[in-house]
Amino acid sequence: MFYKKYQATIHLQPFVECYYIWENNDLNPAGSIIESPPTAFGSMVFNYGESYASKNLGNAEFKSLPKNFITGQATHNYFLQLPKKIGMVGVVFKPSALNTFFGLPMYEFVNTRYELSEVLGRNFELLSEKIQEENNKEKKIEILNNFLSLSLLKMKKGPDRTDYAANLILDQKGVVNISNLMNEMYVCKRQFERQFLLKVGMSPKYYARVRRMSYLCATLASSKWKIADWQDLIFQMGYYDQSHFIKEFTSFTGKSPGAYLKNNLELSNYLK
């Protein structure tokens, strides 16, 4: 198993959370199913391995994914049905960056994955071919970084107050008072919410909840939490009490924190 994150160059860091490469040739012959919590990021994925499938929480069947795809916010847990041979490189974007780069209405991309070239054109088919032809992992990342750097130069508009607000919610792990944030930014509530929906895909309050859950799931999966420790975690993340925390957690993930802690520890290890 090879999974590694790569940092974007400095001029792209306001827009790109990271790049990653994920490769494997030794999964179970029947493949594997892994689960991922809400992410709070959009992404592009270029697949040079075998095709694979996904389904969202509550769906009965897996659906095959496009070879290269773009996806927006995941608001609930989702599942990946992986083949024996994995090979993919991805770009993880800050919450509003796909709109800022390409002008996409992000509310159309929530919990969905679309063929990349159908959304953004043939240039992305050529980009995919370059990535597939390159065997060196670092060179694959360099190809992506150079492409986005060129896209940045062509960008008609730079980041605005909505980008700033979305990145602030991201950085503060969703623990943000949205009303206070709007007052500090001197923005009209209706206009701000409309712009946030366009650029991120949901309301700012709901995005804060998604981001908070994303951080919580990552914390639970990557640490050996005990039930006794939850009170501190609940307090840190701004929940009213334990029942509020459990209700919110279950609504996003489909399982209790205890069940998640028991069954999902290996997920973070799977990607290290």
Q: Indicate which CATH number applies to the domain containing 59.
A: 2.60.120.10
Strands 113-115 and 78-82: unpaired
**Do 11 and 101 touch, CB atoms closer than 8 A?**
no
Exposure pattern of 25-53 as b/e (b: 16+ CB <10 Å)? eeeeeebeeebbbbbbbbbbbbbbbeebb
Structural domain count of the chain? 1
Return the pLDDT at 188: 87
CA distances from 42 to 70, 90, 96, 98, 167 (A): 8, 10, 8, 7, 13
Return the pLDDT at 27: 56
Domain residues for the domain of 55 are: 2-154
Q: Is residue 116 part of a domain?
A: yes
Q: Is residue 237 part of a domain?
A: no
Q: Is residue 225 part of a domain?
A: no
Return the pLDDT at 82: 87
Q: Is residue 239 part of a domain?
A: no
Return the pLDDT at 237: 84
Residue indicated by tokens 């847990």: 77
Quick one: residue 51, left, alpha or beta (phi over 0 = left, psi -120 to 50 = alpha)?
Answer: beta
Q: Is residue 258 part of a domain?
A: no
Q: Is residue 97 part of a domain?
A: yes
Return the pLDDT at 110: 96
Return the pLDDT at 233: 77
Backbone φ, ψ for residue 153 (5° rounding)? -65, -30
Q: Is residue 200 part of a domain?
A: no
Q: What is the mean pLDDT of each run of 10 residues along the chain (272 residues)?
A: 92 95 72 83 95 90 95 92 90 96 96 95 92 95 96 84 94 92 86 95 96 86 62 79 86 84 56 45
Q: Is residue 190 part of a domain?
A: no
Return the pLDDT at 272: 43
Please tell me whether the overall predicted TM-score, pTM, comes out greater than 0.85 for this model: yes
